[in-house]
Amino acid sequence: MFTYQGDGDICAIGTSHAIHVAARAEKITSIMVNNAVFGMTGGQMAPTTLDGQITTTSPYGRDCKIVGTPIDLPKIIATMQGAAYVAAVSVDSPKNILAAKKAIKKGFQVQQAGLGFAFISILSTCPTNWGLSPVDSIKWLQQHMLPVYQMGELKVPEEGCKHD
C-alpha cells in the first residue's frame, strides 16, 4: 500500500494521519511531492511555503512572524521510532531524478520487508502557480528550496529491526 500526496495535503490536514501511521510503524510507503504551494487548487500558501515566497494567498510573501515557519515533515517523521526509512529527494536534475527513483524503490523494499513506515519527500516545481517557465522553476527550486530542505536519507532501517 502506498500514498501519493501533495505537501499541502500531508503537511496540513493530513499531518495527524502521517504522524500516527509512523507511530504505529504501519507497513505503508508515503510519497510526498513538495512544491511549496497547494498546486491543485490555485497556488495558495501551503505549510511548506518558504519565508517570503509569493502565493495567491500571500501576495506580499509568506511572513513567518505571522504564520510560522515552513514545516519540514521528513525531519519530523525521521524522529519517530516506527518510521523505518525516510528520504528527501529532488527532481531538479537527471542525477537527482535517479536518486529519487532509488529512494522510492528502497521505500517499497522497506515496506515489503515489514520494517515499518517508509516516507519519501520529493521536491518538485509548480511552474503554473509559481508564474515561471519550467526552466526558471527548476532554477528557483535549486536557489530557494534546496538550501531550506535537507536532501538525502534521513533515516535508514536498523539492523534486525522489524515492527510486528
The tens digit of pLDDT for each residue in 53-76 reads: 999 999 999 999 999 999 999 999
pLDDT at 164: 58
**What pLDDT digit, counting tens, does each position of 78-97 carry?**
999 999 999 999 999 999 99
**What pLDDT digit, counting tens, does each position of 140-152 carry?**
999 999 999 999 9
pLDDT-derived band of residue 41, with 50, 70 and 90 as boundaries? confident
160 has a pLDDT exceeding 80: no
**What pLDDT digit, counting tens, does each position of 86-142 carry?**
999 999 999 999 999 999 999 999 999 999 999 999 999 999 999 999 999 999 999
Give this prediction's pTM: 0.93
The answer to whether position 12 is within a domain reads yes
The answer to whether position 161 is within a domain reads no
Q: What angle do CA 94, 95, 97 make, to 5 degrees?
A: 60
> At 5, which helix (H) or strand (E)?
strand 2-6
Range of the domain at 145: 2-155
The answer to whether position 59 is within a domain reads yes
The answer to whether position 164 is within a domain reads no
Q: How many domains does the chain have?
A: 1
The answer to whether position 36 is within a domain reads yes
The answer to whether position 160 is within a domain reads no
Whether 34 and 124 have beta carbons less than 8 Å apart is answered as yes
The answer to whether position 42 is within a domain reads yes
What is the CATH number for 42? 3.40.50.970
The answer to whether position 102 is within a domain reads yes
